[in-house]
Amino acid sequence: MKYLTCFVVIAICLFGSTVGSCQEGLTVKLLTHDGKDIEGKVLSSNEDVIQLAADTGTQIINWRDVAVLMPVTQDVPPHPPDAEPASAPQWVISIQPKASLTEGTQSQQTLGGQLALRRSTEVQSLTAGFDANNSLTTQKGTSSIRTHEYDGDIADELFVTDRSYLHGIGDGYHNSSLHLYLEQFYGGGAGRTFISSQKDKLTMTTDLLFVTEHFTTTSPSESFPALRLNESYAHSFGKLQGAKLPMTLSETITGLPSLNRADGWQLRGGATLSIPISKLFSMSFGFSDDYMENAPNARKNYSSSSTGLNFSFPASD
């Protein structure tokens, strides 16, 4: 069986009014959410991390941890007293189109993509994302099967301390394999970063949600309160020869137990391994699974995996 996956990543980094101001050689100053003040020369950057040559050595910082980022000029002191931020909040946009083709006793074609946006300030991190997958499976002598899955969410983190934050979230989810026409949930809670270092980051968040579910079958719609329990972890490994950025393994697990229904619970999980090959190219291996206890069909879980070659466009001058 032949398998071909095409996976392209386009990452655009913006801060201030300058597009692509993360080019190599630029001296920048950044402030992280946990209070770290780092100044150094940009060695490399992509849509996930930025690598700086600082006085204390090479620093690798995840964009998610950055609150303020600004260029350093000679006429601006390193630590000006009572100075206003010299740049607007940072915006990061990531677009990930993808396609796959499987040929054998049956044929499967899949098209999809991901769009992610993030805006960070000193005390706030706003993220929004949309994921779409559409596949067509055909086999001689049987009817073709088309499945589609769409997921969109927006989340806001308001930091009250260096590591603790208030959290709000809204999500819409459609999955034809689970006979789920639309699931929506809205709510809020709090979270905390328990580990934050150059190599590891661990965060946990708890939210109180109101959930509504509409199915494509004759099953009635459902509404119920629920908890959202989320754990996210990322670890950076060593670099491959010729690569400027480290390998990164990230995983997340989310549970949605209902507060008043025994069968109203859901469990989502996923993991991605990113292996930079050079400044522009990296390999990625991903897996995700979604289990829904009250799905109105015999199969209650939906799994997907991906393997691809990622390309990040270099920052413009």
Query: Following DSSP, what letter does each residue of 102-153 receive, concatenated?
Result: EESSSEEEEEEEEEEEEEE-SSEEEEEEEEEEEEEEE-TTS--EEEEEEEEE
Tally of CA atoms within 13 A in the half-sphere of 26 that contains its CB: 19
Contacts of residue 81, defined as CB under 8 A and 6 or more positions apart, other chains included, come to none
The top-scoring range by mean pLDDT among 53-62, 134-143, 159-168, 306-315 is 159-168
Q: Average pLDDT, stretch 57-75?
A: 75
Across the chain, what does the average pLDDT equal? 79
Which DSSP letter does residue 258 get? B
Tokens of 34: 């946990």
Which one is predicted more confidently, 112 or 127?
127
- pTM higher than 0.75: no
SS3 197: coil
193, 161 in Cβ contact below 8 A? no
Tokens of 176: 């034809």
Tokens of 21: 């101001």
- Look up residue 55 and give its amino acid: D
pLDDT of 186-243, one tens digit each? 999 999 999 988 889 999 999 999 999 999 888 899 999 999 999 999 998 877 666 6
pLDDT of 121-156, one tens digit each? 888 999 998 988 888 878 777 778 888 889 999 999
SS3 content of the chain, % helix, strand, coil (to 5): 0, 65, 30
210, 223 in Cβ contact below 8 A? yes
Which one is predicted more confidently, 309 or 239?
239
The top-scoring range by mean pLDDT among 25-29, 100-104, 125-129, 164-168 is 164-168
Q: Residue 16: what pLDDT?
A: 36
Q: Residue 5: what pLDDT?
A: 32
Q: Residue 316: what pLDDT?
A: 43
Q: Is 108 a residue whose pLDDT tops 80?
A: no
Q: Is 9 a residue whose pLDDT tops 60?
A: no
Q: Residue 11: what pLDDT?
A: 33
279 C-beta neighbours (distance < 10 Å), count:
16
Lowest mean pLDDT among 57-61, 84-88, 277-281: 84-88
Q: Which domains are delineated in the chain?
A: 92-311 (2.40.160.40)
Tally of CA atoms within 13 A in the half-sphere of 225 that contains its CB: 5
Q: Is 4 a residue whose pLDDT tops 70?
A: no
Q: Residue 88: what pLDDT?
A: 57
Q: CB burial class (10 A; 0-12, 13-18, 19+) of residue 221?
A: exposed
Distance CA(257)–CA(48), nearest Å, equals: 31
Q: Residue 99: what pLDDT?
A: 67
Q: Is the dihedral of CA 38, 198, 62, 44 positive or negative?
A: positive
Q: Is 12 a residue whose pLDDT tops 50?
A: no
Q: Is 86 left (phi over 0), alpha (psi -120 to 50) or beta?
A: alpha
